Amino acid sequence: MRLVVRGLMAGAMLTALTLSICLHAQEFKIGSKEVQVHGFGTQGFIHTNGNNWLTMNTNGVGSGAFTDAGLNLGIQINSKLRIGGQVYDRKLGKLGDWHPLLDWATLDYRPKPWLGFRGGKVKTVLGLFTDTQDMDFANTFALLPQSIYPIDLRDSTIAHLGGDIYGQQKLPHHLGTVVYTAYGGHRSDSMHSGYPYLLSSFGIQLTSLGGPVFGGDFRWRTPVRGLVVGVSRMNEQIKGIGISTIGPGGAPITPPTSYEEHSKHDWTNQYYGQYTANRWHAESEYRRYVRDQMIANGAQESLVDVRGWYVSGGFRVCKWFEAGSYYSHYRNASALGINPNGTVATDFAARDFDKVLAGKVTVNQYMTVKVEGHFMSGFANQPYPNGFYSTVNPNGFVNNTNALVVRTGFSF
């Protein structure tokens, strides 16, 4: 434990050093245009006393395999046109595995406040935080509510290759402002994300996972100062292709056979509200995710029907300290009753109820340190993952898991 603490302190010092170097390299010019350079990074540590969590060996001493970073370049061509891009990389237990991704790269043209266009690889707007979930410095919590923002499944909602139409319009009679985004494109998951990792435990190695996606977001900044409410919808047609190396009963298949799965239905509805006032903020979201997938080359149907919601709040006690708490409620309604292997699922196998207490220290405008406690009931893990994987819990699951999460981050 002492070694881990020392490691974290060394990491924090290294971060501060990197920061001081980076701060001198924020801008350069191409011709007459200024290119802005920004970046962020975090280092986390998780210790649990129940199940191993988020593909890490968090039980016992704990795990520090919880790192991510992003580097961003952007040019404002004129007041209406902007181009930019961002590279993102992470190591989250067995996920990410230091395979850098093009997080987004867009050309953004906004001729009118009520009409703008974005094209390229674009961050997907879905609820309050999908597009900003990596920005640890901006959130009160080290881990956002996992019922809505599962960090292991980040890739499945984070971005699409395609385009957005967006804008905002003030309403007459001081009724506030409406903000809209409509999008369409193609989603493509990393092979180092949660679902491919889950399938690997069944001997299936995916080589591609993705498909067409379209949807929209509509939010209303109400006349009540600080109150925003909104709704998002996302439709997808997801196809996974790969090979299968293990047959029924666990017997190895030689040579491996091809594997395919595809969506019958795949959609998400999300409803949300946020209120901010002075030192307070409060949020709540509800997400229903239905994923009806024909798996095993069409031989079997797998239905996932997730109903997740959370209520969160935070209070800035002083300039450098903020306290927060949330309750996150995840239930896979389709997993209640019969498991895919024919056994009756317990309620714990279909749920994850997470009570969280958190503290955030803002060291300066570039650096934060967060500490939070999670008190979880349940270990929802199949047929779609939510933080708990049998691969890192080979002896089975226990019903309850408590976790200590420490995360430090910088941005410039």
Binding site for other proteins (CB under 8 A): 36, 38, 40, 70, 72, 74-76, 79-80, 82, 84, 86, 104, 106, 108, 110, 112-113, 118, 122-123, 131-132, 134-135, 137-138, 168, 170, 278, 316, 319, 362, 364-365, 411
Q: How far is the CB of 42 from other proteins (least distance, A)?
A: 12
Q: How far is the CB of 318 from other proteins (least distance, A)?
A: 10
| Closer to other proteins by Cβ: residue 78 or 341 | 78
| Closer to other proteins by Cβ: residue 284 or 411 | 411
The full DSSP string for 360-382 is EEEEETTEEEEEEEEEEE----S
| Closer to other proteins by Cβ: residue 68 or 352 | 68
Length of the chain as a residue count: 412
What are φ and ψ of residue 4, in 5° steps? -65, -45
User: Dihedral of the CA atoms 88, 320, 374, 16 (nearest 10)?
Assistant: 40
- Helix/strand/coil for 73: strand
| Closer to other proteins by Cβ: residue 281 or 351 | 281
Q: How far is the CB of 361 from other proteins (least distance, A)?
A: 11
| Closer to other proteins by Cβ: residue 25 or 398 | 25
DSSP 193: S
- What's the CA gap between 409 and 240, in Å, rounded? 34
| Closer to other proteins by Cβ: residue 104 or 330 | 104
Residue written as token pair 């209640």: 336
Q: Which helix (H) or strand (E) holds 114?
A: none
- What's the CA gap between 55 and 274, in Å, rounded? 31
Q: How far is the CB of 261 from other proteins (least distance, A)?
A: 31
User: What are residue 211's DSSP bridge partners?
Assistant: 187
Q: How far is the CB of 356 from other proteins (least distance, A)?
A: 21
| Closer to other proteins by Cβ: residue 4 or 73 | 73
Q: How far is the CB of 179 from other proteins (least distance, A)?
A: 8
What are φ and ψ of residue 390, in 5° steps? -65, -25
| Closer to other proteins by Cβ: residue 6 or 225 | 225
| Closer to other proteins by Cβ: residue 113 or 340 | 113
Q: How far is the CB of 126 from other proteins (least distance, A)?
A: 12
- What's the CA gap between 269 and 311, in Å, rounded? 17
Q: How far is the CB of 26 from other proteins (least distance, A)?
A: 8
| Closer to other proteins by Cβ: residue 36 or 208 | 36
**Per residue in 217-227, is it b (16+ CB within 10 Å) or e — as a string?**
bebbbbeeeeb
Answer whether 267's CB lies under 8 Å from 288's CB.
no
Answer whether 160's CB lies under 8 Å from 185's CB.
yes
- Helix/strand/coil for 222: coil
Answer whether 132's CB lies under 8 Å from 124's CB.
no
- Helix/strand/coil for 140: coil
Q: How far is the CB of 44 from other proteins (least distance, A)?
A: 18
Q: Which helix (H) or strand (E) holds 13?
A: helix 2-22
- What's the CA gap between 19 and 189, in Å, rounded? 31
Ramachandran class of 333: left when φ > 0, alpha when ψ lies in -120 to 50, beta otherwise: alpha
Q: How far is the CB of 76 from other proteins (least distance, A)?
A: 4
